[in-house]
């Protein structure tokens, strides 16, 4: 089997461009999950332990800022947001709908401002990862990116000149030279994906709680997802002006997810059935939807690598994958020390270990 599954989590984007090697705007570094709403005093953006960019965008989004002021821990954030979404008070529930807008604003700023270069987001460790893949013997890559930002997207666009004008383009990335194919998807959404909505509420009204959001708000969103290109270039010519009202196709971290683009998932499932190698970078293995994809649709795992900065994080993530995968009788017969890796994304690339592992 010459297929490879790549999973990139928050740790991959956080270390996509190590400040020691790349020209970056450090205050726009992609936050980790436990930093998404990490604030001290919102009136003191320079306070210690604050991510200045997080503070900046929370200040502009008062409904989301309440989450930061209540300080849910990383472990409790998912349950906190779930409770917020289903709260008995309508006034509390409506705060949830400011969260995808906040995440859109935050990660769009990260995408376009963290790596300072002529081409957006490149070079980066994502660029180097793609180069390593191109030098390997793999023929087909399934890339599941759990990040909302565009840093991996920019690396793919730079390498394959793919503009991602439609969602189908994500499933049709090919190189003419060696025949490598990539299926790339972002199951939890992206800052350049949108739902259309059939109500006139503005993002600013939702951010500031200036409108009454009823329980039918979610039903007002389209089932179909649109790319940024489609929203800006195609729909502006449409006679149906309601479609011009867009809302971020981003799933707040709730722990349990439905996929943003089911069509992508349906496309990759048949390929997963013929895939036995897995490379995880910055992936905590807390996402039940991804674990379920692996358990249900990969008959065997012959090779897997968990790359996290801390060895305990790598071991814990691997044990979560292993436990979930083996719950129905399948086995992963690999030595833990071969699977786990205590490296940042940067050191995994620069040490050459990525090439060694891909060539094994």
Secondary structure letter of residue 115 according to DSSP: B
Overall pTM > 0.75? yes
Looking at the DSSP bridge assignments, the partners of residue 197 are 221
pLDDT for residue 51: 80
Q: To 5 degrees, how large is the angle CA 323–CA 326–CA 330?
A: 160
Q: Over pLDDT 70: what percentage of the chain?
A: 90
Low-confidence ranges of the chain (pLDDT < 50): 45-48, 241-243
Q: Are 248 and 190 in contact (CB under 8 A)?
A: no
pLDDT for residue 83: 85
Which residue, among 116, 105, 107, has the nearest Cα to 26 in the 3D structure?
Answer: 116
Q: Which residues contact 325 (CB under 8 A, 6 or more apart)?
A: 291, 294, 295, 298, 301, 332
pLDDT for residue 47: 47
pLDDT for residue 55: 86
Q: Which domains does the chain have, with CATH numbers?
A: 3-22+120-188+259-359 (3.40.50.1220), 31-113+190-250 (no CATH)
Query: How far apart, in whole angstroms, are the C-alpha atoms of residue 234 and residue 140?
Result: 31
Q: Would you call 303 helix, strand, or coil by DSSP? A: strand
pLDDT for residue 236: 57
Give the HSE-up count for residue 171: Cα atoms under 13 Å, Cβ half-sphere.
Answer: 14
């Amino acid at each position: 089997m010459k297929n490879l599954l790549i999973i990139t989590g928050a740790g991959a984007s956080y270390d996509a461009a190590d400040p020691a090697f790349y020209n970056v705007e450090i205050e726009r570094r992609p936050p980790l999950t436990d930093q998404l709403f990490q604030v001290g005093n919102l009136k003191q953006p320079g306070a210690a332990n604050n991510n200045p960019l997080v503070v900046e965008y929370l200040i502009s989004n008062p409904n989301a800022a309440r989450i930061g002021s209540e300080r849910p821990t990383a472990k409790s954030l998912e349950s906190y947001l779930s409770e917020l979404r289903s709260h008995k008070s309508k006034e509390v529930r409506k705060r949830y709908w400011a969260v995808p807008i906040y995440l859109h604003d935050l990660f769009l700023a990260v995408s376009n401002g963290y790596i300072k270069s002529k081409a957006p987001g490149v070079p980066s460790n994502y660029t180097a990862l793609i180069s390593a893949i191109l030098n390997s013997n793999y023929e087909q890559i399934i890339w599941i990116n759990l990040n909302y930002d565009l840093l991996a997207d920019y690396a793919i666009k730079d390498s394959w000149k793919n503009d991602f004008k439609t969602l189908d383009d994500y499933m049709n990335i090919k190189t003419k030279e060696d025949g490598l194919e990539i299926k790339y998807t972002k199951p939890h959404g992206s800052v350049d994906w949108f739902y259309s909505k059939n109500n006139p509420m503005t993002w600013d009204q939702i951010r500031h709680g200036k409108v009454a959001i009823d329980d039918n708000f979610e039903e007002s969103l389209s089932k179909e997802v649109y790319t940024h290109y489609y929203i800006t270039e195609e729909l502006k010519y449409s006679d149906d002006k309601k479609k011009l009202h867009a809302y971020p196709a981003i799933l707040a971290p709730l722990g349990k997810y439905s996929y943003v683009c089911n069509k992508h998932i349906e496309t990759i499932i048949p390929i997963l059935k013929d895939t036995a190698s897995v490379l995880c970078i910055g992936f905590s293995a807390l996402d039940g939807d991804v674990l379920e994809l692996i358990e249900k649709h990969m008959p065997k795992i012959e090779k897997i690598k968990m790359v996290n900065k801390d060895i305990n994080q790598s071991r814990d993530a691997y044990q979560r994958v292993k436990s979930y995968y083996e719950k129905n009788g399948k086995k992963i017969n690999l030595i833990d020390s071969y699977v786990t890796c205590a490296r940042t994304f940067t050191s995994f690339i620069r040490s050459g270990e990525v090439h060694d592992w891909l060539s094994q």
